[in-house]
Structure 1
Amino acid sequence: MSNAAPVLAAQGLVKRFFGNPVLKDVSIEIVPGRVHALLGENGAGKSTLVNLLSGVLSPDEGRLLVDGQPCARLTPALARRHGIAVVQQELSLAPHLSVVENVALGAVPTRRGLIDYRRLAVEVGRVLDRLGLDVALDQPVEELPLGRRQLVEIAKALYRQPRVLILDEPTSSLTAHEVQALFKVLAELKREGTALVYISHRMNEIMHLCDWVTVLKDGTRTADRTMDGIDPPALVRLMVGREPGDLFPPFRSTTRDEPALEARALTAPGVGGVDLVVRQGEVLGIGGLLGQGQEELLLALYGALDAQAERLATGGVDRPSRNPADAIGRGLAYVPADRKREAVLLPLSIGFNLTLPGLRRLARRGLRRFAREAEVARELTAKLNVRGGGPERAVQLLSGGNQQKVALARWLPLSPKVLLLNDPTRGVDVDTKREIYLRLKGMAAGGMAVILLSSDALELVHLCDRVLVFRDGRIAADLPHGQASEEAIVAASLGVARQEAA
């Protein structure tokens, strides 16, 4: 472990929003050649601390030091000049620009006052190769799947050869192969003396990568210590302030005989001839390596992708959904993985987001009933324990976990027959995950069919009545609850016989 002097440090930071303290006397030292975990529940103050360390926000009290020297006012531009780079969980890419333009934005090489495109292609290509990202440099990033967009975001930071690299949930949308490639790069950066700050809710990654850990709870630092001698339960205790309970609720099947959704010979871009039946009260898992047609399946069922099928029935009625509005009318609801771009309207209020899908039902004679909308918003906020302010507060001011609760709760007034979930706990803390799990099991107990696509195999193993493992756009295995394990899911996704994987 590195014993070098801190390249970046904070002493006694205090930050308030609207008079409410969100950071209280927080200190931290970021040291070259060390991987420093920053942990805490959603809303603990991690994002605020990162924004202070990168110059996005200024502290109300306390001070920042760069190379041991106080920095009176750190701005994003000054942070970049000091070599501080941040990979945010919520991507900051320009969707209409190309990969190479996004990676080098604001730092393009020039020659005689003009962009040196040849040098630019070589330098960006070198960074992409280091991450194992094989994409066309001129491809618009909006055409890339979420996982590859996340790698472009990481490449954007690496291109600037940072002295301090802060990564916020960098693996949340990556395949296992991409995760290993990233870990290799991080190990190289550590050996080269880069100071790394790593934020993740995946304890196995923290245990594998990190040398030091700082834990925040309710804006206060509860731990700042070496990782030596600490285990995942101890980290959770520091984060939540109590002994960790079982993350997953006890498994109890609530599956009924009546089909909620049926598909036969369903084909769509990325999906090749899928047959499935989901019954009322069933939690059906969708697993496998990312990019094998799982997301396309959900979008096809939701009417967001052109699909053909011999039969596609909801509630026994055989009629494919022509578009998402048609699917909603037939009792389907969809919660996408990218909540900030696709699931919620960030600048608008919690109340408006919660009532938007059901505005027509809440209206009377075509006129909105604002008092009734506010009542429904309060009920939904309480039901899913959305924390961070009243219904009038903007969604963008909530933590990621509470934004996800809003994305889920907004469908409840419509009482959907089938709920399609795309990685619903991506980037969500331990306690919020458990809240979501309990809510999903409660929905299933009420007769709703839940189709859960997850990149977390443990979620599939513990929550689902069955797990469909996808490979090359088709179902490679249909594993009932008693046979679904992490090993079985991985083996099926790779096309390996079960006995070979043992």
Structure 2
Amino acid sequence: MMPAPTLAARGVSKSFFGNAVLREVSIALQPGRIHALLGENGAGKSTLINILSGALLPDAGAVEIDGRVFRGLNPRDAHRAGIAVVQQELGLTTQLSIAENIGIGALPRRYGLIDYRGLARRARAAMDLVGLNEDLATPVGDLPLGRRQMVEIARALFREPRVLILDEPTSSLSAHEVETLTALLDRLRAKGTAILYISHRLNEVMRLCQHVTVLKDGVVTADRPIEGVEAADLVRLMVGRDTGHLFPAWTPSADRDPILQVSGLSSGVLRDIDMSIRRGEVLGIGGLVGQGQEDLLLSLYGALPASARTAEFNRQRNLPASVRRANALGLAYVPADRKREGLHLIHAIGWNLMLPSLARAFSLSLRDRSKERVLATALADRFAIKGDLTRQVRALSGGNQQKVALAKWTPAEPQVWLLNDPTRGVDVETKREIYALLRRLASEGKAIVLSSSDTPELVHLCDRVAVMREGRIVATIEREALSEGAIVAAAMGADPLRTAA
């Protein structure tokens, strides 16, 4: 017999402003099982997570913990029951230390005061579980995104949860960190922890999980053991049809002469970088997370002080000294963290779409709002962005937010696009739309610098891939030699040509 579920939702429904987000959804998380929750962005996954953790109340249905029915579960009851959630969008306080972030909300006390010695001991134990060896006093804001993700996971483990809910936990992790997390989840499962695992990386789901629930438009379309299920079947259940090929056909479109080239570039962790990119080329930037990829993009964009022996962009010498200068020269940057760096969440969708164009196309004092609406509507239609343009952009799903972050740059007609993990945490269909956009931009003569933690993206989309390690480009792999094995080998310090196959 199957054991009783530790946590379950029974026929829960939820609507916002008359829009049904969940419709009679049921899910049961068993002890000692990793349960996948799949669906496109906007399918209702985040809403279901919030209901299971007490952050939202369902309009109908109930949550059960160990068979006890809760029609009004709150976060305190969920915490007491041992339910811990690691959200895709990190909730860390960057000014506080690693130890303080891990213990916040559950700080050990002694004689009514915070027991810092006990906090240090327990925080270090949680850090050891996820492979964090940084100093406990390090401010979280000093860590790269992947390490912050591990701090978030350590914070959940600090509470010794009976139920662990993970939303896109590997989206910013290195290959080594993914292996550490995989081993940890296997140990937790063996101890009887119930785990809900949300990911758009189907290879992880197929490898890790024993059961799967699929949501489409707020309705459960599948709930079954994962054994015997093909990844293509899961995709069909998520999108309601066969998606065909994920990546567009690759065709060469690069010019002979470079549009951007630098030599001896140094900035932050970067050391003596030589690189060039041609019009119509997609240049990939690969490597383990945190090896200088982001610093490279920010240096080219004028957002980090940098020096170079030589630099030339579109016949202009010297690196841009500021973001304003970079924009004027025809560069655009799309950050990995769209919510903190790429969008103004409290402003309207239309306002976000127009932001880079305001200074260029309109007078800030005499704005032509009718012209702005026409342009914003055209962008929303072109990028299939769903939602009333007057709504706040934070109301959109992650995939639609990412489309806004990309679409807003197209009226400026940038000649070089600097993209930092542009498909992080978005669903399969949105990924396919973004991939098609990148190849289309290349065919139009635009240059794309694509930094990605998703190695298959680099293999299928790029003309060349520059692999970074410890702030340097250690290998540049041409199209004919591109493979996941070659990129990983270069990132780990091996010869990529020997492992290209």
Deviation sequence 1:287-328 (CA, Å, 0-9, x none): 111122111111110111111112222111112111111111
Shift, 1:263, TM fit: 0.7
Alignment check: 8 A CA contact 2:286 2:451 kept: yes
Distance 2:349 2:335 in 1: 18
Alignment check: 8 A CA contact 2:486 2:497 kept: no
Residue of structure 2 in register with 1:210 after alignment: 209
2:427 to 426, 429, 443: 429
Residue of structure 1 in register with 2:18 after alignment: 19
Distance 1:81 1:442 in 2: 51
Residue of structure 2 in register with 1:237 after alignment: 236
Residue of structure 2 in register with 1:484 after alignment: 482
Letter in 2 for 1:396: R
Residue of structure 1 in register with 2:459 after alignment: 461
Distance 1:184 1:243 in 2: 33
Residue of structure 2 in register with 1:259 after alignment: 258
Shift, 1:436, TM fit: 0.3
Distance 2:344 2:319 in 1: 28
Distance 2:33 2:320 in 1: 52
Shift, 1:497, TM fit: 2.0
Letter in 2 for 1:49: L
Residue of structure 2 in register with 1:404 after alignment: 402
Distance 2:185 2:374 in 1: 49
Distance 1:393 1:499 in 2: 50
Residue of structure 2 in register with 1:228 after alignment: 227
Distance 1:457 1:443 in 2: 21
Distance 2:400 2:204 in 1: 23
Partner secondary structure for residue 450 of structure 1: strand
Partner secondary structure for residue 425 of structure 2: coil
Over the matched positions of the two proteins, sequence identity in percent amounts to 55
Deviation sequence 1:124-160 (CA, Å, 0-9, x none): 0000011111111111111111001111111111101
Q: More deviation in 360-369 or 187-196? A: 360-369
Distance 1:233 1:345 in 2: 36
Distance 1:102 1:253 in 2: 48
Consecutive unaligned residues of structure 1, counting only runs of 5 or more, are: none
Shift, 1:485, TM fit: 0.6
Q: More deviation in 76-85 or 359-368? A: 359-368
How many residues are aligned here? 500
Matches within 5 A, 1:184-333: 184-333=183-332
Distance 2:377 2:120 in 1: 52
Residue of structure 2 in register with 1:472 after alignment: 470
Which runs of 4 or more aligned residues in structure 1 lie more than 3 Å from their structure 2 counterparts after TM superposition?
A: 498-502
Distance 1:498 1:398 in 2: 41
Distance 1:13 1:67 in 2: 17
Distance 1:87 1:225 in 2: 24
Alignment check: 8 A CA contact 2:358 2:364 kept: no
Matches within 5 A, 1:52-201: 52-201=51-200
Shift, 1:258, TM fit: 3.6
Letter in 1 for 2:495: A
Residue of structure 2 in register with 1:415 after alignment: 413
Alignment check: 8 A CA contact 1:421 1:453 kept: yes
Residue of structure 2 in register with 1:42 after alignment: 41
Partner secondary structure for residue 149 of structure 2: helix
Superposition TM-score, scaled by structure 2 size: 0.98
With over 3 angstroms needed to count, the CA separation of the structure-2 counterparts of 1:117 and 1:242, relative to structure 1, is: same
Partner secondary structure for residue 249 of structure 1: coil
Letter in 1 for 2:143: L
Alignment check: 8 A CA contact 2:281 2:447 kept: yes
Consecutive unaligned residues of structure 2, counting only runs of 5 or more, are: none
Shift, 1:64, TM fit: 1.3
Partner secondary structure for residue 128 of structure 1: helix
Residue of structure 1 in register with 2:388 after alignment: 390
Shift, 1:476, TM fit: 1.5
Alignment check: 8 A CA contact 1:362 1:373 kept: no
Shift, 1:365, TM fit: 7.7
* C-alpha RMSD of the superposition: 1.2
Partner secondary structure for residue 265 of structure 1: strand
